[in-house]
Chain A
Amino acid sequence: MSAFLIRRLLRFVVVCLGVSIVTFSILHASGDPVSLIMPEAPEADREKLRLALGLSDPLPVQFVRFVTNAARGDFGNSFFHREPAFGLVVERMPTTLGLTCLAVALALAVAVPVGIYSAVRRNSLGDHAATVVVFLGQSMPVFWIGIMLMLLFSVQWRLLPVSGWSTWSSMVLPAVTLGAFTTPLFMRIIRSSMLEVVNLDYVRTARAKGVSEWLVICRHALLNAALPIVTVIGLQFGLLLGGAVLTETVFAVPGVGRLIVNAIRQLDFPIVQAGVFLLAIIIVSVNFLVDVLYVYLNPTVRLR
């Protein structure tokens, strides 16, 4: 058990290092950062700035400095906002995480019952209908679904606010939009892993014992089918954080995604670096947690 965890932890560290290399190179990938910051300035002024930013040191030195600063949450001041970039990102993180978690919760709330139904009543009319509807959802791009939902629920029927992030009701449309994107995958996974177990001997035994069908499905079958779902949630989390960028822009949600998009437009590197770094670390952490959870849920993993 502990060997397994240590291996996973090591992998976590390696991935973090990779993330910091990528984030570090963002600044350098776009050419000379100084001529981007002050394109019209005379060479003497550029040299001053280069020294002040430490850009004339050798790359490895710069990288080590970047990593040590990043570990302390110091990515420098945002060029546009003129305050620490890390603070600006952290300030907006709860909103983005909230949106993502709400979306996952909504997606599960739909995918679990529908997935179970599709597996139990396999090839029924309902199964096919569910598949079609859900796949329509996935084939539509996030921003399009967002605008369509907005036109229907807010402009046409006046049920929900158009945009913002202040009341519970204003969170519904962004969460549904983002959730619609991931529901089909959850549903397919639940359906197929349920199909794998519903015909196994122990399920038949349970039925034979006279356990009610409801209990057979929920306790015996579903609990064993739940493992792949946990994995997929971990994997989807990263995709969802990416989808949050679009959702936040469409619904004017004050989150990290929108901050980063704006920063890219304004060539505000510290914010881009801080944002990408933090998001990447969160995704890696979630996946690490999923691994740990997996061990807890599935004893056979420990033996390997």
Chain B
Amino acid sequence: MKRWLLGLTALFLVALLAPVGAGAQGKDTLTIALPNHAPTLDPHMHFERVGVLVNINMFDSLLHRSAKLEFEPSLATSWKSLNDTTWEFKLRKGVKFHDGSTMTAEDVKYSFDRVLEPGKEKKKSPQYGNVRAIKEVKIVDADTVHIITDKPFPLLLERLVYFGIVPKKHIEKVGEEAFGSTATSGTGPWKLVEWKRDQHIRLEAFDQHWRGKPAFKYVVFRSIPEVATQVAELKTGGVDIIRNVSPDLLGDIKGHPLTRISTTPILRVHYISLDMRTAPFDKKPARQAANYAIDKQSMITKMMAGLGRQVPTVVQPPAFGFDPSVQPYPYDPKKAKELLAQAGYPNGVDITLHSSSTEWRPQFEALGEMLTEVGLRTTTKMWDPGPAWNKFFQAEGKGTHGQYGNWGNYSVFDADAVLHPFYHTEPGGWIGKHYARVEGLDKLIDEGRSTIDQPRRKQIYARIQAMIKEEAPSVFLWTQNDTLGISKKVAYEARPDEWLWLFAAKPAN
């Protein structure tokens, strides 16, 4: 017994004295904390943000998006539309995959075909919906492909920004499963070294990458679920970048000598969607009253550390089609009361709002208070974002009288990506099919998505924004920021599309 104990104590002491391994990072390594990993490294076979962030650094798409949100050549050097439904792409020559093969038009066609699976009824890829408008990818010659859509598809270029090109022969040789876990191969700046589930994904710079060498030789994506742990790792140099820093942690990270904050407005827009089918929000004055009742600027200043921006409707300022001439509803509780009386509720009315955005609970409750003050006496009901909420909201759509949430357009910088899910009433839609009943809006949304004439689309979206500002099918709130915590040893800034494009990262000084 005694000897056993002694051994244990010795073991404990040895462990204490052992060099600190994980904390110290080499200078050529950039380490990112993610809450978890996607189920696969195959860029087409998942739809997880944490996976996209890894994939974009290993795979190139036909186009790239700059930090200023402009399209840039990537695997395609140029592109143009030949007619309403045909786009021509010229491919970059001599691009190498990590497995050593050279990228060809065959690989481009194969990449689309494995997602589109023409002729198959059930599609394997969860990203099928993004590119379903593509009817065919045609190889014209070795360096030219045509992408043909079934009808005019204005979002095509947006959708191509995250659509990795994968090597056909390599995948056919190693098989889909190995491709997604151990034998991944793209054309991007870094290639896979190892993936240890729930621990880390380790990448190494690919020396034949067409852009040249990245500043960091190694990139590591560690899986760390707990936010407090991520912050502790950041402060001790165990990781260099953490994402989604909440307002209450800003001061802590800003005040530490080794860390800083980088923040930028993003697409994610907050809203209360109102159920227009039932009282009281079947009446326009009641919906407008709700919009006048919210003091958006105070909420942003006091509850979000100033990291937000009021919006006139749900269309976000950086999205294509945003009309700056439409102004946000001002805060005017007196007017709100008047409008509510006009709607037939001079003594107010009881309503219930629902939400599953647990991390925004304080804001949700504050919104309820402000509505209550003008006579929309609100009960806020917070749901666990699990099965019960799905059933409640998706299957039956009974989120009466409204629902508070936020929407990120799946990073598509176009008004259609928020207007269609919110307000179009077609059966396949999202909230719109349950809640929105705005006369003539469906037709305008359809018009906007069926031409590739951008100036004309802009006009249509301007009309829609004026219309929904007046009709108020939602309470329009604000867009939030994406906030990164970054080590002072690393030069990198947050992007409006929430991407981590690490080719732009450099050691500071």
Give residues in A with beta carbon < 8 Å to B.
30-31, 35-36, 39-40, 80-82, 91-92, 105-106, 108-109, 112-113, 147, 150-151, 154-155, 158-172, 218, 222, 249-252, 254, 258-259, 262, 265, 267
Q: For B232, what are the chain A residues with a Cβ–Cβ distance below 8 Å? A: 147, 150-151, 154-155, 162-163
Q: In the docked arrangement, what's the CA distance between A109 and B229, Å? A: 28
Contact A218 B18, beta carbon cutoff 8 Å: no
Q: Say how far B160's CB is from chain A's closest CB, in angstroms.
A: 26
Which of A36, A91, A112, A169 makes the CB contact (< 8 A) with B18?
Answer: A169
Count of chain B residues near A, Cβ 8 A: 40
Q: For B20, what are the chain A residues with a Cβ–Cβ distance below 8 Å? A: 158-161, 169
Which of A163, A169, A218 makes the CB contact (< 8 A) with B233?
Answer: A163
Which of A82, A154, A172 makes the CB contact (< 8 A) with B15?
Answer: A172
Contact B39 A262, beta carbon cutoff 8 Å: no
Contact A106 B198, beta carbon cutoff 8 Å: no
Contact B233 A166, beta carbon cutoff 8 Å: no
Contact B22 A161, beta carbon cutoff 8 Å: yes
Determine whether B223 belongs to the interface, using a CB cutoff of 8 Å to chain A.
Answer: yes
Which of A35, A109, A267 makes the CB contact (< 8 A) with B395?
Answer: A35
Determine whether B362 belongs to the interface, using a CB cutoff of 8 Å to chain A.
Answer: no
Contact with A along B360-392 (1 / 0, CB 8 A): 000000000000000000000000001100110
Q: In the docked arrangement, what's the CA distance between A291 and B224, Å? A: 39
Known A-B contacts A161-B22, A162-B232; the reply to A40 vs B222 at CB < 8 A is no
Interface centre among A113, A147, A169 (most CB of B within 10 A): A169
Determine whether B312 belongs to the interface, using a CB cutoff of 8 Å to chain A.
Answer: no
Q: Say how far B72's CB is from chain A's closest CB, in angstroms.
A: 34
Contact A163 B16, beta carbon cutoff 8 Å: no
List the one stretch of B4-12, B91-99, B275-283, B454-462 in contact with chain A: B4-12
Q: In the docked arrangement, what's the CA distance between A112 and B394, Å? A: 56
Contact B18 A252, beta carbon cutoff 8 Å: no
Contact B22 A163, beta carbon cutoff 8 Å: yes
Which of A35, A160, A258 makes the CB contact (< 8 A) with B198?
Answer: A258
Contact A147 B228, beta carbon cutoff 8 Å: yes
Q: In the docked arrangement, what's the CA distance between A162 and B224, Å? A: 11
Contact B390 A166, beta carbon cutoff 8 Å: no
Contact B22 A164, beta carbon cutoff 8 Å: yes
**Top 8 closest pairs, chain A to chain B, by CB:** A254-B198, A167-B21, A161-B22, A252-B224, A164-B22, A168-B15, A169-B18, A162-B232
Contact A161 B238, beta carbon cutoff 8 Å: yes
Contact A39 B224, beta carbon cutoff 8 Å: no
Q: In the docked arrangement, what's the CA distance between A171 and B22, Å? A: 11
Determine whether B123 belongs to the interface, using a CB cutoff of 8 Å to chain A.
Answer: no
Q: In the docked arrangement, what's the CA distance between A112 and B9, Å? A: 12
Q: In the docked arrangement, what's the CA distance between A161 and B239, Å? A: 11
Contact with A along B399-424 (1 / 0, CB 8 A): 00000000000000000000000000
